Amino acid sequence: MPHTPEQTSEASLGLKRGDLVLDTATGRVGEVMDNRWNRYQLRPLGGGREWHANPLNLVSPRMNGPRCPECRRIKSAYYAASHEGDREAAARWTTEMGLHQRAAHL
């Protein structure tokens, strides 16, 4: 995938504050706090030190359209967990989405 400035723009990921994302560079799930300097500021679930993540390394069930039944399954499980306020489960589905996309779509 070519690394163009467009791909790091705010609009490209469609993430907003509070969304959970997997940073594939670190394998950690974080909560989106901000988006500055072409980086996303992520906070560990439950608090802790924020870190800066490259948008190119981020995967979230909220990103991209569903591309296969497994994507759809993970996505709906993520939304169900989020809707119930179960952040731990939502974080697990976020990780699951990262693993699945890496295995099936990259």
For position 91 contacting Zn ion by CB under 5 A, the verdict is no
- Which residues within the stretch 61-90 sit at the binding site for Zn ion (CB under 5 A)? 67-68, 70-71
- Residue 90: phi and psi, rounded to 5, are -60, -40
Q: How far is the CB of 43 from Zn ion (least distance, A)?
A: 27
Q: Which residue has the tokens 């690394």?
A: 3
d(CA 89, CA 95): 10
Q: How far is the CB of 74 from Zn ion (least distance, A)?
A: 8
Binding site for Zn ion (CB under 5 A): 67-68, 70-71, 104
